[in-house]
Amino acid sequence: MAKTTARIQIRQIAERVGLSQSTVSIVLNGRGDEMRISKESQRRIREAAKEMNYQPNIYARRLRRAGAEKQAGQIVCVFWNETSAEDAMIQYFKGLSRAVEKNGYGVEFMVKLFKTGRLSELRDSMTLLKYNGILIVGASQTDLDYLAQEDLDIPIVVNRPSDKYTSVYMDAYEVGAECARMFSKKGFRTAGMMSAQLPTVGMGLRELGFLNGCRSLGIDVREEWVMRGENTDMQTGYEYASRFCAMEERPAGVFIMQESLTLGAMMYFKGSKVRIPEDLALVSFGLTPILKHMTPSVTMIGVSMADTGETAIDILMTVIKNNIKMPISKLLPFKCECGDSFRPDGGEETAWPVQGKE
């Protein structure tokens, strides 16, 4: 029978693995790489701590360090891809706050930023010694591959499908395919796209779904109508819009892959001779509240980041409370919010659900 967490001490783990208490303490505090302790020793220590059901008192440690009063609850860290839009982060945390208020969770949130493909640099923070759970947003395929080969001792929720970790996600490929279907039902025979050369899983799948959907539906997507750059900021969207306006022949509709690109593009179109949607129809990925209030309002397709955050923390808290070891997978159905930049046939409603594939 496993020993209770109250009885397991660093000394006992040190005896199990045959290393000093100081070495064990360093590794369990997430400083193994910093102190140049071998990967093999770190692995043995983590495995022993997991087998012995070692559970550190996170709040007690923080009390010792900061002299603060003890708080009841959990410490959850959000690992956030720094390339994601600022408004997306605001909405995500609104969802976290909504869940905390609705369910009375005692949670303290922390944030760590990571660069695309470099999630591994936060390895020392992926431990129960630092947090009770982790939410990861914006993982690339490289990041997911890294996570798949790690044996982590902390509950993690990612926003991409995963066989190893609990996940809350939408069918990104189907989002792109649905936009192509919307264009086809409207009678469009040409289409363009604003995107970015980022190795993020979601954006890549949206692109693939849209381009394959257009191809299968007989919609022409010319090379000059597909714009990709290294950035997804407003300035890039502004520049893309200026290029579309300068074209002698434009597509009937454009799918924009990032909210910030849409904001920049709309700023340029507002002062141009190109009328939206009469001369160029626009659909934006992401349900961003500010796009509803632009002139013209923007048609959007995707999942609310607030709903994503709320669902993610709900599932994480369930996993922590019930000590669930098997990964849970939650597919969020996406929806379309109709604006004036593109009016789908039958799209008179402000919003309607579009069921993703299970």
Q: 138 and 196 share a domain?
A: no
Which pLDDT does position 49 carry in this prediction?
83
For residue 277, say if its preceding peptide bond is cis, omega within 30 degrees of 0: yes
**Which residue reads 């926003």 in tokens?**
159
**Considering the domain boundaries, does residue 32 fall inside one?**
no
224: Cβ–Cβ under 8 A, 6 or more apart, which residues? Answer: 247
Q: 192 and 341 share a domain?
A: yes
Helices (H) and strands (E) in the chain, counts: 12, 13
Q: 347 and 218 share a domain?
A: yes
Q: 252 and 316 share a domain?
A: no
Q: 214 and 346 share a domain?
A: yes
**Which residue reads 């950035």 in tokens?**
231
Query: How far is the C-alpha of 126 from the C-alpha of 155, rounded, in Å?
Result: 9
E strand intervals along 205-298: 226-229, 253-256, 281-285
Count up the domains in the chain and report the number.
2
Query: How far is the C-alpha of 148 from the C-alpha of 54, rounded, in Å?
Result: 23
Query: How far is the C-alpha of 65 from the C-alpha of 45, rounded, in Å?
Result: 24
* Domain assignment of residue 111, given as a range: 71-170+306-333
Query: How far is the C-alpha of 29 from the C-alpha of 31, rounded, in Å?
Result: 6
Q: 198 and 327 share a domain?
A: no
**Considering the domain boundaries, does residue 2 fall inside one?**
no
Which pLDDT does position 1 carry in this prediction?
36
**Considering the domain boundaries, does residue 238 fall inside one?**
yes
Name the residue type at position 127. Answer: T
pLDDT in tens, 282-302: 999 989 888 999 999 999 999
**Considering the domain boundaries, does residue 311 fall inside one?**
yes
Three-class SS state of 170: coil
CA-angle at 301, arms to 296 and 307, nearest 5°: 115
pLDDT in tens, 83-114: 877 778 999 999 999 999 999 998 999 999 99
**Considering the domain boundaries, does residue 115 fall inside one?**
yes
**Considering the domain boundaries, does residue 148 fall inside one?**
yes
Q: 291 and 323 share a domain?
A: no
pLDDT at 356 over 80: no
Query: How far is the C-alpha of 269 from the C-alpha of 250, rounded, in Å?
Result: 14
Buried residues in 258-271 as b, exposed as e (16+ CB within 10 A) = bbbbbbbbbbbbee
pLDDT at 19 over 70: yes
Which pLDDT does position 346 carry in this prediction?
56
Q: 158 and 263 share a domain?
A: no
CATH number for the domain including 324?
3.40.50.2300
For residue 296, say if its preceding peptide bond is cis, omega within 30 degrees of 0: yes
326: Cβ–Cβ under 8 A, 6 or more apart, which residues? Answer: none
Q: 251 and 312 share a domain?
A: no
Q: 283 and 214 share a domain?
A: yes
Q: 235 and 289 share a domain?
A: yes
Among the listed residues 299, 263, 279, the one whose alpha carbon sits nearest the alpha carbon of residue 87? 263
What pTM does this model have?
Answer: 0.75
Question: Angle 141-149/201-216 helices, nearest 10 degrees?
Answer: 130
Indicate the helix (H) or strand (E) that contains 53: none
Cβ(141)–Cβ(199) below 8 Å: yes
Locate 133 and state its tokens: 């759970």
Which pLDDT does position 350 carry in this prediction?
61
Among the listed residues 92, 150, 149, 157, the one whose alpha carbon sits nearest the alpha carbon of residue 131? 157
Cβ(340)–Cβ(297) below 8 Å: yes
Classify residue 168 as left (phi > 0), alpha (psi -120 to 50) or beta.
beta
Name the residue type at position 309. Answer: G
**Considering the domain boundaries, does residue 292 fall inside one?**
yes
Query: How far is the C-alpha of 159 from the C-alpha of 313, rounded, in Å?
Result: 12
Phi first, then psi: give them for residue 136, nearest 5 degrees: -115, 125
Q: 145 and 185 share a domain?
A: no
The two most distant CA atoms of the chain are separated, in Å, by 76
pLDDT in tens, 156-191: 999 888 889 999 999 999 999 999 999 999 999 999
**Which residue reads 């299970």 in tokens?**
358
Query: How far is the C-alpha of 88 from the C-alpha of 120, rounded, in Å?
Result: 23
Which pLDDT does position 67 carry in this prediction?
40
pLDDT in tens, 139-152: 988 999 999 999 88
**Considering the domain boundaries, does residue 16 fall inside one?**
no
Residue 335 has, within 13 A of its CA and on its CB side, a CA count of: 14
State the virtual CA torsion across 100, 102, 105, 108 in degrees, nearest 10. Answer: 10
